[in-house]
Amino acid sequence: MSIGKEVSAFDAIRFAIKAELDSIELYTKIESMAKNKDLKDKAKYLKSEEEKHRGLFENLFTRQFPDKELVIPDESLVPAFKRIASALSVTELFELAMEGEQKAAEFYSDLANRSKEKTSRIILTYLQNMETSHYYFLKADHELLEAMPDYSEIEELLKADWNLAL
Tens digits of residue pLDDT in 20-54: 999 999 999 999 998 888 899 999 999 999 999 99
CA pair distance 104, 36, nearest whole angstrom: 26
**Residue 131 contacts residue 105 (beta carbons within 8 Å):** yes
Does 157 have pLDDT greater than 70? no
Dihedral-angle region of residue 4 (phi above 0 means left; psi in -120 to 50 means alpha; beta otherwise): left
Residue 56: which of 5, 114, 104 has the closest Cα? 104
Percent pLDDT > 90 in the chain is 61
Q: Which pLDDT score is estimated for 2?
A: 47
Between 104 and 152, the more confident residue is: 104
Residue 60: which of 127, 5, 1, 106 has the closest Cα? 127
Q: Which pLDDT score is estimated for 88?
A: 80
Between 60 and 85, the more confident residue is: 60
Determine the CATH number of domain 9-67+85-148. Answer: 1.20.1260.10
Q: Which sequence spans correspond to the domains of the chain?
A: 9-67+85-148
pLDDT band of 140, cuts 50, 70, 90:
very high
- Mean pLDDT of the chain, nearest integer: 88
pLDDT band of 87, cuts 50, 70, 90:
confident
Confidence (pTM): 0.86
